Structure 1
Amino acid sequence: MSMKASMIIDKDFKVGEVDPRLYGSFIEHLGRAVYGGIYEPGHPQADEQGFRGDVLELVKGLNVPIVRYPGGNFVSGYNWEDGIGPVDQRKRRLDLAWRTIEPNLIGLNEFMDWCRKANTDAMMAVNLGTRGPDEARDIIEYSNITGGTYWSDLRISHGYRTPHNIKTWCLGNEMDGPWQTGTKTAVEYGRIACETAKVMKWVDPSIELVACGSSGLLMPTFPDWEATVLEHTYDHVDYISLHQYYGNRDQDSANFLAQSLGMDRFIHTVIATADYVQAKKRGKKKINLSFDEWNVWYHSNDADRKIEPWSIAPPQLEDIYNHEDALLVGCMLISMLKRADRVKMACLAQLVNVIAPIMTANGGAAWKQTIYYPYLHASVFGRGTVLVPLIKSPMYDAKDYTDVPYLEAVAVHNEDASELTIFAVNRNLTEALPLEMDLRSFGGGFHIKEHIVLEHEDLKASNTLEAPDRVKPHSAGNATISTNGQIEAVLGKASWNVIRLKLA
């Protein structure tokens, strides 16, 4: 088979508009995500509230539109009231999810302050593990009602006269997982999620709600869980969640980079299940998808098993990402973009220190992990309308997947900016991949603004405190316009590529 790929892009063949919230992220009270991550009083770059300015700048560079908080597994045993009011009067609690002590120095109000500084919105989660509708109606009253009631007046007394107006809420987290505090059956969760959704929207009808899907593609509950939960909640929720992490424990890089095909199937199955419930309900509303946990996660597993319990902010889930991890993250971003008509929100889990694109040293520097770059490029350049790419690519077979295309790619048309951006991964670990792109429907007159490439000879190369720029992108890609008006490029082996075109 010829080792050449082709791609036809037609401006009228549209997948759907990209919801900016597709590029969201996640901060959980876990490890050093909060304490030592976004918040470190006494750090040389901490502001008057203790938030690290260097971390804020890296977050703002990503243009993160929304951040899920405060969990994650943490939320299923969390009393949100512990995190409001005078800090010196807050209770220290045992967090059973991660077996640490939560000092509650940061809570809802402080997190909303951080969101404003980071130019992002909050996706707030409520506890449906140990609590339920009563707690949920209280927190939304505290957050979103102007004043004149107990909880809204309490917020005002805490120094926040203007409501936070949090518009996106998660109804619990991973409630089918046996590791979860308050694990439930699909019927149990569906019933409490339905009743919680009702009271929350009675308090504030303008909010959007996310129901918990299965905790992962391989859960024995999947996809019956989604069908049952949506049958209970269809009339009251707007999204169903998906969570998925991948790893390369067998050190089989070809198989590792093929795992986004599993993500494709996961998305397809959840869409089909949601549409089945819509049909069964004779409903008009499409339930969209919130892929609110996704990433590579496996490097830190052994170290995490050795952490002594009941400490404060130990270094948990601190994966140090390498070059091949960045390639899979790029493929996963492409997977979600390919279904931008239904995947409307997503959260890279997580944002700082905990399986994160940003790492910090306590008292020291912050730096970008390898996965920072595909996330950055997609968030900054992947705004607009996703187009249906017609791709021909040579393929390979891996241990768990067959017919894996070497080329993984998608195109996003930003009509307002007159730009077209092509995101492409070459999965071939040993050879470059010639690529021809046919843009005939756009007419002539376009030119190449930039061809960004993330590549490295060593798939295992990573960025560290001592060498923060070992793996970083360059803009010396070789994309050109041929005499017949096609775009031609040679994608380096094991590379992430961003080809940006200015249209006439």
Structure 2
Amino acid sequence: MGNQENPTAKITIDPAFVVGPVRRKTFGAFVEHLGRCVYTGIFEPEHPKADEDGFRTDVLELTKELGVSTVRYPGGNFVSGYRWEDGVGPKGDRPTRLDLAWHSSDPNLVGVDEFAKWSEKAGVEPMMAVNLGTRGTQEALDLLEYSNIKGGTALSEQRKANGAVEPHNIKMWCLGNEMDGFWQIGHKKAGEYARVAAETARAMRMVNPDLELVACGSSAPTMPTFGEWERVVLNETYELVDLISAHQYFEDFGDLQEHLSAGHRMEAFIKDLVSHIDHVKSAIKSQKQVNISFDEWNVWHMSRDESKAPTGDDWPVAPVLLEDRYTVADAVVVGDLLITLLRNTDRVHSASLAQLVNVIAPIMTEPGGRAWKQTTFHPFALTSQHAAGTVLNLAVESPRLDSEKTSGFTALSAVATYDAEANEAVVFAVNRSATDALTLDGAVGSLNPARVIEAVTYTNKDPYWQATADDSTSVLPSENVSVKLDGGRLTTELPAVSWSMIRLALNS
């Protein structure tokens, strides 16, 4: 049993109770032409570790270690004013354009061909967004033809002449970005967006009916448009799309306990969005199931100076922008958000951590210098590496917590995955309490466990410790020596503000 001084949370794990498969697309990320994400992030030809195509090999290796599956590109807000044609062909002929979304300039040295090449090197699946802000159906079709048609047409032959002989075969496509946001270039009302999204989806499927298409959901659950936007958009697009997007960011405003409730708030958003999707399904009497692409999520301290874009006559290329420095507490929240996405794998079929490099990112770089891991890198990388097979529906009994704005959320956030082929189960657990350790008492007999393979916890006495380029290794996931497996009982102590992973080998 657990430490009598600590509250106890109980879980029961049974491989018979399955939520759905572990989806590799849950571990996606996001590369936008924003700040230093592209230039001096993934691409820096002058860097000592740049390859023959100008890509930073240190970033490529960290991307692989992070375990990223898909990468959404090129935005984000950026895409709503983007002319994809600017980013193809000889680099000396490419124009520099104003990026109104982030008050910057873009030299277009990286475009669809470079991104496809980088994706292949990184071992990720590209997820392309089309501009439905200032442009529309024809431009989306042109980009699809350029990217995916093998040859014999004007645009496919142009791609081949530009050096990409084989088609990019991009399957996942986002139909615009956050089009209900007043900040969006080409911002639209729900009916306006629904019409152009339906037209674009229908036309793209005439080129390739097997594309995976994502309609824009409302920009955030706090938007006044949320719910009604989904109803209007899905009424027009339900039979034409596979997924609808969800975006949500979390910020620590100084109340650590409130910050640690982020996973609870994400779960509520997912359930609300599912209800709106399924309302439309019922109303139109569809046999199809539309699901969720949670293609922007992270901790983002957007009220801080790091998120203030340039102004006036200053239109810099790749300015330092949105470069949040993450704490241990932020990493625990990110780990909890990933647990939440997995726990809802029946309806969340794809997700993208926003973003990958420098911009609210797990990977940071110095121009011409080092690349290093932020705190948030670790729970993402370990979850991506070890979550496999199926996600199990846990029975949970947990103490409840209250914060200033959120009440009644569980101290324990947990999920388990079960890999029958590997004879392994993994428990991912977060203690959301800002002050108290938690004893975890797990009934795992139905798994027929043999031994503990590995048990690690990420925590620190100072939850506001931050990694830097000079010190990114002082605080790492470390062995949790309190874990005990006794027959069908798994017990451990979870420190306050902590993320843990316990891997169990199972008897065959």
State TM-score, norm by structure 1. Answer: 0.98
Asked if 1:233 corresponds to 2:237, the answer is: yes
| 1:349-368 equivalence runs, <5 A | 349-368=354-373
Q: Is the 8 A contact 2:27 2:384 kept in 1?
A: yes
Q: 1:389 aligns with which of 390, 394, 397?
A: 394
Once the two structures are superposed, residues 207-254 of structure 1 have per-residue CA deviations (whole angstroms, 9 ceiling, x without a partner) of: 1100000000100000110111000101110000000001012x0001
> What are the ranges of 5 or more consecutive residues in structure 2 without an aligned counterpart?
none
CA apart distance, 1:350: 0.1
Work out the CA distance in 2 between the residues paired with 1:431 and 1:28: 39
Q: Is the 8 A contact 1:300 1:318 kept in 2?
A: no
Q: Is the 8 A contact 1:187 1:228 kept in 2?
A: yes
Work out the CA distance in 1 between the residues paired with 2:384 and 2:424: 15
Q: 2:257 aligns with which of 250, 254, 258?
A: 254
| 1:362-381 equivalence runs, <5 A | 362-381=367-386
Work out the CA distance in 1 between the residues paired with 2:192 and 2:120: 36
Asked if 1:457 corresponds to 2:457, the answer is: no
Identity of aligned residues (%): 49
Which residue number corresponds to residue 30 of structure 1? 34
Which residue number corresponds to residue 402 of structure 1? 407
Q: Is the 8 A contact 1:299 1:320 kept in 2?
A: no
Work out the CA distance in 2 between the residues paired with 1:442 and 1:496: 22
Once the two structures are superposed, residues 424-466 of structure 1 have per-residue CA deviations (whole angstroms, 9 ceiling, x without a partner) of: 01122232211111112123x5210000110111111010011
Q: 2:351 aligns with which of 346, 352, 355?
A: 346
Which residue number corresponds to residue 323 of structure 1? 328
Q: Is the 8 A contact 1:453 1:477 kept in 2?
A: no
Output the amino acid matched with 1:283: S
CA apart distance, 1:2: 6.8
Q: Is the 8 A contact 2:33 2:78 kept in 1?
A: yes
Give SS of 1:334's match: helix
Which residue number corresponds to residue 71 of structure 2? 67
Change (3 A) 1:300 1:396: closer
Give SS of 1:273's match: helix
CA apart distance, 1:184: 0.3
Asked if 1:275 corresponds to 2:275, the answer is: no
Asked if 1:224 corresponds to 2:241, the answer is: no
Asked if 1:146 corresponds to 2:150, the answer is: yes
Q: 1:106 aligns with which of 83, 96, 110?
A: 110
Once the two structures are superposed, residues 136-159 of structure 1 have per-residue CA deviations (whole angstroms, 9 ceiling, x without a partner) of: 111111111111111111111111
| 1:263-302 equivalence runs, <5 A | 263-298=266-301, 301-302=304-305
| 1:35-50 equivalence runs, <5 A | 35-50=39-54
Once the two structures are superposed, residues 310-368 of structure 1 have per-residue CA deviations (whole angstroms, 9 ceiling, x without a partner) of: 00000110000001101111111111111100101000000000000000111111111
CA apart distance, 1:299: 6.1
Work out the CA distance in 2 between the residues paired with 1:159 and 1:68: 23
Output the amino acid matched with 1:353: N
Work out the CA distance in 1 between the residues paired with 2:244 and 2:87: 27
Which residue number corresponds to residue 493 of structure 2? 490
Q: 2:440 aligns with which of 426, 435, 438?
A: 435
CA apart distance, 1:477: 3.9
Output the amino acid matched with 1:270: L
Work out the CA distance in 1 between the residues paired with 2:307 and 2:167: 39
Taking only aligned residues, the RMSD between alpha carbons, in angstroms, comes to: 1.3
Which residue number corresponds to residue 11 of structure 1? 15
Alignment size in residue pairs: 501
CA apart distance, 1:377: 1.4
Give SS of 2:269's match: helix
CA apart distance, 1:400: 1.5
Which residue number corresponds to residue 307 of structure 1? 310
CA apart distance, 1:275: 0.8
Q: Is the 8 A contact 2:31 2:356 kept in 1?
A: yes
Work out the CA distance in 2 between the residues paired with 1:468 and 1:147: 47
Once the two structures are superposed, residues 246-301 of structure 1 have per-residue CA deviations (whole angstroms, 9 ceiling, x without a partner) of: 1012x000111012211111100111111111111111111010000000001673
Output the amino acid matched with 1:226: E
Work out the CA distance in 1 between the residues paired with 2:383 and 2:195: 37
Q: Is the 8 A contact 2:426 2:501 kept in 1?
A: yes
Output the amino acid matched with 2:234: L
Give SS of 1:325's match: helix
Work out the CA distance in 2 between the residues paired with 1:397 and 1:301: 26
CA apart distance, 1:127: 0.1
Work out the CA distance in 2 between the residues paired with 1:455 and 1:399: 23
| 1:86-165 equivalence runs, <5 A | 86-165=90-169
Give SS of 2:16's match: strand
Give SS of 2:337's match: helix
Q: Which range moves more in the overlay, 425-434 or 149-158? A: 425-434
> What are the ranges of 5 or more consecutive residues in structure 1 without an aligned counterpart?
none
| 1:130-209 equivalence runs, <5 A | 130-209=134-213
Q: Is the 8 A contact 2:306 2:324 kept in 1?
A: no
Work out the CA distance in 1 between the residues paired with 2:358 and 2:202: 36
Output the amino acid matched with 1:485: G
Change (3 A) 1:306 1:239: closer
Work out the CA distance in 2 between the residues paired with 1:19 and 1:78: 30
Which residue number corresponds to residue 415 of structure 1? 420
Output the amino acid matched with 2:493: V
CA apart distance, 1:306: 6.5
Q: Is the 8 A contact 1:461 1:470 kept in 2?
A: no
Q: Is the 8 A contact 2:6 2:438 kept in 1?
A: no
Give SS of 1:115's match: helix
CA apart distance, 1:414: 1.5
Asked if 1:473 corresponds to 2:477, the answer is: yes
Work out the CA distance in 1 between the residues paired with 2:265 and 2:307: 26
CA apart distance, 1:62: 1.6
Change (3 A) 1:236 1:39: same
